[in-house]
Amino acid sequence: MSIRPAVHLAVPVDDLSAARAFYGTLLGLPEGRSSDHWVDWNLYGHQLVTHLVPDPVLPAGNSEVDDHDVPIPHFGLLLAAEAFHKLAGRVRAGGVSFLVEPYVRFPGQPGEQWTMFFRDPAGNALEFKSFRDESQVFAR
């Protein structure tokens, strides 16, 4: 994987204990600073912050990609193949329901990639990908 600038992303959650169980225990992300209202997570070198917001997360909708309904908005990372499959195993073992099961999207085409979608306990949609050839991330 190439070195990229780190991203900062803040997302709403309605239960910090559930967020800790999901992001910390299930996904295995190291916890950083925190307060009674937010928690920082090390998302593979990126700063993800879960902020306590009492209102539920409402999805905007879906968009079709490769015959799958993709939740909008969503966030995630591009991972190396080994990390992608390890994460998929953790999610499956944790009993999380996939919105889109791990599969290869665009096989044999530019941008061929493994992808998977699932939601955190607050309803935030996450997508993780692994490109067969990372130089093809923006290929047409």
Cα 125 to Cα 119: distance, rounded to the nearest angstrom? 4
Q: Say yes or no to pLDDT of 139 above 70.
A: yes
Q: What is the pLDDT of residue 118?
A: 98
Q: What is the pLDDT of residue 68?
A: 93
Residue 89 has pLDDT above 80, yes or no: yes
**Number of C-beta neighbours around residue 82 at 10 A:** 9
Residue-level pLDDT at 2: 57
Q: What angle do CA 28, 83, 97 make, to 5 degrees?
A: 65
pLDDT tens-digit series, residues 33-78: 999 999 999 999 999 999 999 887 787 899 999 899 999 999 999 9
Residue range 10-20: average pLDDT? 96
Question: Could you tell me the pLDDT band of residue 99, with boundaries at 50, 70 and 90?
Answer: very high
Higher-confidence residue: 19 or 5?
Answer: 19
- Say which residues have a Cβ less than 8 Å from residue 4's Cβ, sequence separation at least 6: none
